[in-house]
Structures are given as structure tokens and as C-alpha cells.
Structure 1
Amino acid sequence: MAGLEHYNMTTNRYKYFRWTPRTAKVTFMFVGVVPTLFGILAYSTEGKWNLRAKRRGDVLTEY
């Protein structure tokens, strides 16, 4: 019975949402900073690792 009220709040979260400085920071982090960091990491390691058909003892880096 106690979980029913929590479920109701979860399904109607958009009705109770407010933009506060904390929610703005969290949103900015997940929308802007995290994808940017993943993009930089992916771009910087592009083509450096070849994991295809490697055996034990083989070198993973291409250069």
C-alpha cells in the first residue's frame, strides 16, 4: 500500500517539476558535458585499437 503513492508521484513527475539551480546543473551536465567528453574520447582514440582477430600476446595498438 505504501508504494502506491510513490508510483503516483513518479507517473505525474512532470506536474511537480521545477527548474532550480540544482536541476539546471544536472541537466546541463547530462545534455552538454557528458556527451562532449565521450565525443572527445572517441575522436582521440579513433583507429588506435584493433581488437579484431587478436590472440593472447598480440599487441592491441596500431601505432
Structure 2
Amino acid sequence: MAGGPNSHLKILHDDAAMQKIADIGPNRYKYFRWTPRTAWYSICYAIVVPSVVGYLAYATEGKYYMRGKRRGDVIKEF
């Protein structure tokens, strides 16, 4: 047969840019560098976002009751 037994396996050529992106994904820790931008994002995701979510959860604790409601009933309990 023309091309040998494994000629059908490599019909499409690999795109170099896609190969580079695929290689960066699992090796991202090797290319990470602390900059002011990455430090700001880290602070926001590690401190600010959980603080805001925690405050909203604490502020609305016990105010809403979602179970056992029927159509037309209000969900507020205060």
C-alpha cells in the first residue's frame, strides 16, 4: 500500500502556535513571575473576594427561607 501502515495517522499537520499553548498549560508554574499585576490579582482573589462573599452571607443569614414555599409566598422571613 502507498505510504506504509501508519500513513493515515498523520493526515493533519500540527500548528506550532497551538502546540506552544498546549505546552504552556501544564507547565505554567515554570513561567510564573510575581509582578505588581499578579500580586494585585492574588490579593483580590485570596482576600477581597472571600471577604465580600463572607460579609454577604453573614448579613443575609436567616433572612431568606427557600424551603416549603409556594407560588406567591415571599421568601423573606424578617
TM-score range, shorter chain: over 0.9
Identity of aligned residues (%): 51
Larger Rg: 2
* Letter in structure 2 aligned against 1:49: Y
The counterpart of 1:28, out of the listed 43, 47, 58, is: 43
Aligned to 1:44: 59
Query: Larger helix proportion, structure 1 or 2?
Result: 1
**1:4 pairs with 2:19:** yes
Distance in 2 between residues matched to 1:17 and 1:53, nearest whole Å: 50
Moved more, 5-14 or 38-47: 5-14
Is the partner of 1:11 in helix, strand or coil? coil
TM-score by length of 1: 0.93
Distance in 2 between residues matched to 1:62 and 1:9, nearest whole Å: 51
* Letter in structure 2 aligned against 1:36: S
User: How far is the alpha carbon of 1:32 from its aligned partner?
Assistant: 0.4
How many corresponding residue pairs? 63
User: How far is the alpha carbon of 1:52 from its aligned partner?
Assistant: 0.6
For CA contacts below 8 A with separation 6 or more, give which structure has more relative contact order. 1
Distance in 2 between residues matched to 1:12 and 1:52, nearest whole Å: 46
